[in-house]
Amino acid sequence: MLLRYYTVKDYGVHEIIIQKSRFIAQIKRAETELEAQAFIQEIKKKHWNATHNCSAYLIGEHDQIQKANDDGEPSGTAGVPILEVLKKRKLKDTVVVVTRYFGGIKLGAGGLIRAYGKATSEGLDAVGIVERKRTQIIHVQIDYTWLGKIEKELRASEHKIKEIHYLDIVEIETFVDESLVKSFMDWMIELTNGQCALKQGETVYIEEIL
């Protein structure tokens, strides 16, 4: 599992007009090739009367699944430019379909490459990019006398509080970057003069909008 990577925030649509042709970028996160292909088929069904539904996706920890489809446009002028934008943005687990409704003016190979690249790039900006970070939930158990100090320190730090449980003692669940777990636990011990109990919980990804 990667410590951190970039992907799209969610599903989104963005349209641009170039030389009277409509280019509609439809973008979604997809963690498997099956999900990506299902999304492409869904868009093709929705825009069955479009001139082209060109697509590309990039999936896997090491980008091991990469596909590009020109859907009738001249070879290399649509799917590959879409894929190249995904690579340039260093995105993972992302599928893009750019639907084109021809407006009557031919763009030529260079014009098509620029148009599909631009539609993809602007579509990604509109949908939004997130950084996913692998974190471990650390359970910090303290006496109520330490709550004010510890909560203040945590909220001023890079770590995010997941939840606070107010029981016989206080338990603060905190998301800690996996590479910082040891230093975080040492920090908690130092802040409380050793008067805390620490337990490592599950590993999860958290997302930060860029």
Look at residue 1 in the predicted model and tell me its pLDDT.
Answer: 83
pLDDT in tens, 75-133: 999 999 999 999 999 999 999 999 999 999 999 999 999 999 999 999 999 999 999 99
pLDDT in tens, 22-74: 999 999 999 999 999 999 999 999 999 999 999 999 999 999 999 999 999 99
pLDDT in tens, 157-209: 999 999 999 999 999 999 999 999 999 999 999 999 999 999 999 999 999 99
Closest residue by Cα to residue 43 from 28, 31, 30:
28
pTM of the complete model beyond 0.85: yes
Look at residue 168 in the predicted model and tell me its pLDDT.
Answer: 96
The answer to whether 121 and 18 have CB atoms below 8 angstroms apart is: no
Q: How many CB atoms lie within 10 A of CB 129?
A: 17
Cα distances (Å, whole numbers) of residue 65 to 70, 89, 93, 184: 17, 16, 9, 36
CATH numbers and ranges of domains, the chain: 4-127 (3.30.230.30), 131-209 (3.30.70.240)
